Structure formats: structure tokens, C-alpha cells
Amino acid sequence: MIVAENVHMHFRRGLAGAKIRALDGMSLQVRDGDFFALVGQNGAGKSTAMYCFLGLLKPTSGRIEVMGRTPELGSSLYSTVAYLPEEPQYHLYLTVEEATRYYSSLYGKRLPAKAVDDILERLGLGPFKKLPLAKCSKGMKQKVGIAQCLMVETRLLFLDEPTRGLDPIIVREFREILRDIHKRGATIVMNSHVLSEIEMLATRVAILEKGKVIAQDDLHTLMTLNQDLYNVAVEADGNVPDYLTVTDRQGSTLRGHIPKAQLYEFMDYARQNGLRVLECSLQRASLEDSFVRILQGGAPGEKKVN
Amino acid sequence: MGELLRANTLTHLTFFRRSRLLLAFGLVFLLLASLGSLPALLAHSKVASFDSLKDIFLTFNEFLIFFGAALGLLVMSSHLSNRSLKMVFTKPCPPPVWLASTFLASALVSLLLIGFVLICAVALSFLWHVPVRAGLVFISLDTFLAAMGMAAYFIFLTTVLHPAVAVAFALVFNGSLFYYLRILMHGASQVAGKSVILRSLEHLFHFLYVMAPMTRAFESKTKAIYSSFRVPTHDWLYLLYSLGYILALSALFYLLALFFLQRKRFS
């Protein structure tokens, strides 16, 4: 669906300003049907990458293909693509209803009034449809952005910090909408700082650091990346192997963790010494843990796309 | 393509309708134009009716040329500064269509206002018992073409420059300046003898003078129409020539604006 190969994007601030390497050899691949999340610290190049995918920026060098074509401004390629920008930079002189109608008409077809009304009602914008965007709150503008994304049958959806400024109820509903769009076969590419949200939605994740992808894989694999501990709970009379770090003791029940490499050794020990194993599970890490671990560990080299 | 052009043009018309800056510009100029027309109205007599009508009509037509420039300037600068074009170009709406819609919307507004001024002038003619002359229509059409040329020029300038710089540029670097510089270089080269540099500069300024956009390309030929409002049959041809000039000028500025628009960073 999207292929980026060794993409460089360099800016210069002012005529003699310092060169900024927003993207520095970024390579990634988004497959058809992925719910792909781009994560990284501020300034890592997430938004720049998305702008390049959308043709809003032309890379200094490297290759980008979206659905087999090089993205360009206003290309017919976007007839099945929707984009929700990070900043609500909309046509502020239009009302909520006019803006929704205008953005959908840019796909070359006029939508029936009822379809527009239905979407606006669904997002709670019904009572505000005559309100100019200039007078709307940031959250309301973001909802207009969501509305225009829902107006077309999308194959590819770009979301740049989509839930920023939205109230929790709408965030929840938006998540359901995204799941629904994804279930219908659309590919979704999302930038977000909210890692818990990515955990809930994404199937694949790329971590960007200083304009490079330093890790890219399935969400599940990334979440278990560098995980080297198993949580165990055993009933023991006091004799436990040295490599079991006990963190809690309640009567004869011990809780703790063992290194991943010694799992089989621990199983043998338990069998030989009659320990009753109550629990043994790979320590569950959040995406945040993996993210921090990967960033702290520097760039381990991009994980190959499966 | 038609639907895209329609949608964008209607949106620009909404922008013009709701732009407070444009409204303020219009009101200020209306006030100035009304004050300018006041002596003509106060000193109005049956004999001077035609002169009063002429003064008022020409003042408003002159204003509408500047208004055309303001339309071009505002439609481009507003969309570039609030970055709303991101929302347009990430949809199957290519820059050539969007840009064409800015020209079209500016033309429609100019046409509407010029038509309104023409109707008012005709009404005033009836009221003051001044014969309605073909010059009113000729001048209105000539003004429309001039306003279109100015709108196209400012759409291009604002694509490249900050709007304030664009205005300053248009005020300073115009045909009069290049004409003056050309004459200056010509005089200097006469005095200095065969100076290659001065001769080259003279040619350069002559080229820039020719290339600088003119509001009324055939002003010297149509001067009489502006004073008598009578149009000899063969003078209608000048409108056709003006149309050709403005179409060529607009096409040039359209292509230049498109070139720079497509190279802008929309981030």
C-alpha cells in the first residue's frame, strides 16, 4: 500500500539557516489492510513522513509510492484517500455544514443533504452545523475533520494525532468508527503520541527516531521485544532456584520473575523438586515500555518487515 | 473537473462575501469615492449633469480595478496563510483547478460589481435626463478586463511574496518606473557616448516596461471614449484587443502562479 525507501527530507530555515534533517533515510512499508501507527518523540519526523505520503512535501531524495504511484498534490490517487490533519487548518469562513459539504465535494461528487446531516448528527455536530468554523472549539473542528473523512469510501486513511482535543466520549466513538473502517478493509496510517490508543487500535507500528525508522513490526512483536522475563507464582516450602527473583511472598506462595533463558531449567527444577506452579507467563509489557526501551537502547537496526 | 471548479468557486465566493477585510476595504473606498463624487452632486445642474455622471462613473470604475487587485490578493493570501490548502490538495483536486477557481471567483465578483455600477449609472442617466451612451458599456467592459488583469497579477504576486511585500512591489515596480528608468538610461547613454552597459540597461528597462502589466492596454487609443462616452464603431475593436491582452496576461500569471504554488511546502 505504501512503500518508502531511504527517504531524506531536508529543510533550511531561512536563506542561510541551519539545515534540518526532518527525515534521514526513512524506510518503511505499510501493507494492504494494516492499521499502521507511526510513533516517535516530538520532532522525530512523523508528521513530515505523513506529509510526504500525502504529496504535501516532496522528499529531497528517496522513493515513496502510495498504492503504486508517486504522491502528488491533488492527484487522482486521493479519490479513495482521506486525511485528518493534526492542526485543524480548515476553511474558517465556512460553517460546519458548508465545510463538510465542500470537503466531500472535492472528491468530485455532491452528497445528498441527508448524508451530511447524518454524519454531523453522529458526531454530535448537528446543533452546530450553522456555526462558522472560526467560532468552533478545537475539538469541534477536529470533529469536522473526522466528518470529512467519513464522507467517502476510503481505501487509505491518514490520521495525524486524530484524538487531540476531543472529549472522551467522542474519542471512544471515534475508535469504534476507526475499527469499523478498518474492518471494512481500509488501510489506516496514524500518528499519535497516545501510545495506549495505538495499543488498542494498531496492528503494526514503526518507531521513528531522528528521521529514521528504528523499529518496525507487528504491534504484538514490538510489545514483546526485548522482553526477557517470565512472571511466576509457585507454592514452595522455601527451596527455590537462585535465578528466581522473589517479589512477593504470601504463606507458601511465592511470586517473582525468572529470566526468559532459564524458563526450561525452571520447569525442570519445579518438576524435580515438586514445586506447584500456579502461574507462568511472559511479562506483559505495554507499547510504552517497548517504546522507551527501544529509544533508550539507541537504534538497534530496523527490524525487517515480515 | 466541472464539479471541482464549481465547488471551489462557490467556496471562494463565500469567502469574498464573509471577508471582513474586503468589506472594510470596500467601505473605505466607497466612502472615499462618495466624498469624491460629492462636489459633482452638489454642483449638479442640468448643464453639468453629464460631467457629474462621468465623474461618478469613472471614479467607481477606477475603484473597481483596485478592488479586483484586492480580490486576487486576499483569496490567495488567506488560503496560503491559514494553510487550508492542505485540505484541498490531499483530495483529488489538483492545483490547476483550484487556482482556476480563484481567477473565476474574482472575475465573477468583479463582473457583479461592475454590472451594479453600470446599472446605477444608467439609472442616474434617466434620473438626470442624460442620454445613455454606449460608452458606459464600453468603459464597464474595459474596467472588467482591467480588474481581471489586476486580480491575475496579484494572485501571482501573492503566491510568491508576502501580501504586504506584493503590494509594495506592485506600487514600486510598475510600467511608470521602468519607463522613467529607460528614459534616464537613454539620456545617460546619449551623454556618455557608446556605453554598452547603459545601452543594455536601456534595453532591459524597455523590456520590463513592455512586460509590466498595464491596467488599460489601449488607454491612449480610447481616451476620447472616456471623455465623451461615445464609441465610434471601429473602437469596439479595442475591447477585443484588450481581451486578447488580458487573456494572455492572465494565462501568463496563471502559469507562473501554478509553477510556484506546486513548489510550495504545505506542511
**Cell numbers 465610434: residue:** B232
**pLDDT score, position A302:** 44
| Interface contact A106-B4, CB threshold 8 A | yes
In this prediction, residue A274 carries a pLDDT of 83
* Mean pLDDT computed over A224-249: 80
**Class of residue B252 by CB neighbours under 10 A (exposed 0-12, middle 13-18, buried 19+):** middle
Nearest to A78 among B3, B11, B91 (CB): B91
Domain ranges of chain B: 2-168+231-262, 175-211
Sequence-separated (6 or more) residues with CB below 8 Å from residue A84? A142, A145, A146, A149, A157, A158, A159, A160, A162
Q: What is the pLDDT along chain B (267 residues), one digit of tens a residue?
A: 788 999 999 999 999 999 988 899 888 888 887 787 777 677 666 667 888 888 888 988 988 998 999 999 999 999 998 888 988 999 999 999 999 999 999 999 999 999 999 999 999 888 888 888 889 999 999 999 999 999 999 999 999 999 999 999 988 888 888 889 989 888 888 887 777 888 888 889 888 887 788 777 787 888 888 888 888 888 899 999 999 999 999 999 999 999 999 988 877
- In this structure, the answer to whether residues A208 and A161 fall within a common structural domain is yes
Beta-strand pair A2-12/A81-84: unpaired
Task: Give the DSSP H or E segment for A287.
Answer: helix A287-296
What is the predicted pLDDT for the residue at A199?
83
Mutate to test the interface with B, among A12, A51, A67, A73 (most CBs of B within 10 A): A73
In sequence order, which ranges of A41-137 are alpha helices (DSSP H)?
46-53, 96-105, 113-122
Q: What is the pLDDT of residue A299?
A: 44
In whole angstroms, give the CA distance from residue A248 to residue A279.
13
CB-CB under 8 Å, B92 with A108? yes
Q: Is A105 close to B15, i.e. CB distance below 8 A?
A: no
Query: What's the gap in Å between the CA of A85 and the closest CA on chain B?
Result: 8
**A51 contact B CB<8A:** yes
Is residue A111 domain-resident?
no
- A215 pLDDT higher than 90: no
Distance separating alpha carbons of residues A185 and A168, to the nearest angstrom: 26
CA angle A72, A77, A79 (to 5 degrees): 125
| Cβ separation A87–B83 shorter than 8 A | yes
For the cut 70, the answer to whether the pLDDT of residue A107 exceeds it is: yes
- A244 to chain B nearest CA, in Å? 53
Residue A193 and residue A259 in one domain: no
Query: Which B positions 6-45 lie with beta carbon below 8 A of chain A?
Result: 7-8, 11, 14-15, 18-19
- Give the Cα separation of B170 and B168 in Å (integer): 5
A103 interfaces chain B, CB cutoff of 8 Å: yes
Do A273 and A155 lie in one domain? The reply is no
Q: In the structure, what pLDDT confidence band is assigned to residue A284 with cuts at 50, 70 and 90?
A: low
Q: Which domain holds residue A266?
A: 229-282
Better-scored residue on pLDDT, A110 or A36: A36
- Chosen domain end from A208, A223, A238: A223
- Using a CB-CB cut-off of 8 Å, the residues of chain A touching B89 are 55-56, 73-74
Q: Is residue A193 in some structural domain?
A: yes
Chain B, residues 214-233, CB within 8 A of chain A, namely none
Does A106 contact chain B (CB < 8 Å)? yes
A17 and A74 both lie in a single domain: yes
| Euclidean distance between CA atoms A192 and A40, whole angstroms | 8
- pLDDT score, position B52: 83
pLDDT above 90: percentage of residues in chain A: 12
Residues of B in contact with A75 (CB under 8 A): 92, 94
Of A48, A83, A110, the CB nearest to B3: A110
pLDDT of residue A301: 43
pLDDT of residue A304: 41
Nearest CB to B83 within list A89, A110, A132: A89
Task: Assess if residue A109 is contained within a domain.
Answer: no
User: Has residue A302 been placed in a domain?
Assistant: no
Scanning the structure block, which residue is given the C-alpha cell 514452595?
A236
Q: What angle do CA B89, B91, B95 make, to 5 degrees?
A: 35
- The whole-angstrom distance between B175's CA and the closest CA on chain A is 30
Contact at CB, A90 and B4, closer than 8 angstroms: no
Q: Do A106 and B18 touch (CB under 8 A)?
A: no
C-alpha cell at B95: 492545483
- pLDDT over 70 for what percent of chain A? 93
User: Global pTM?
Assistant: 0.82
**Domain for residue A116, yes or no?**
no
Among A129-138, A148-157, B32-41, the range scoring the smallest mean pLDDT is: B32-41
Q: What is the CATH number of the domain that holds A75?
A: 3.40.50.300
Task: Please check whether residue A35 lies inside any domain of the structure.
Answer: yes
Same domain for A187 and A87? yes
Give the residue among A206, A223, A203 at the shortest CA–CA distance from A215. Answer: A206
**Is pLDDT of A79 > 90?**
no
Query: How many independent structural domains does chain A possess?
Result: 2
Beta carbons of A74 and B89 less than 8 Å apart:
yes
Residue A45 scores a pLDDT above 70:
yes
Mean pLDDT computed over A278-299: 72
Whether A45 and A65 map to the same domain: the answer is: yes
**Residue pLDDT, tens place only, A166-183:** 778 878 888 888 888 888
Residue A163 lies in a domain: yes
- Residues in contact with A300: Cβ distance below 8 Å, sequence separation at least 6, in sequence order: A214, A215, A294
Q: What is the pLDDT of residue A226?
A: 55
Q: Which of A67, A37, A33 is nearest to A213 (CA)?
A: A37
Query: Do A215 and A253 sit in the same domain of this protein?
Result: no
The verdict on a CB contact (< 8 Å) between B87 and A103 is: yes
Q: Is B81 on the interface with A (CB under 8 A)?
A: no
Residues B207, B175 contacting (CB under 8 angstroms): no
Within 10 angstroms of residue A165's Cβ, the number of other Cβ atoms is 16
State whether residue A142 sits within 8 Å of chain B by CB. no
The pLDDT mean for chain A works out to: 83
**Identity of the residue in A57, A79, A132 whose CB atom sits nearest the CB atom of B265:** A57
- Distances B261 to A50, B95, B214, B254 between C-alpha atoms, Å: 20, 7, 24, 10
Q: Give me the residue from B7, B11, B92 closest to A76, CB to CB.
A: B92
Q: Which residues of A touch B20 (CB under 8 A)?
A: none
Identify whether residues A51 and A155 lie together within a single domain.
yes
A168 and A269 belong to one structural domain = no
Closest CA to B11 of A297, A158, A163, A104: A104
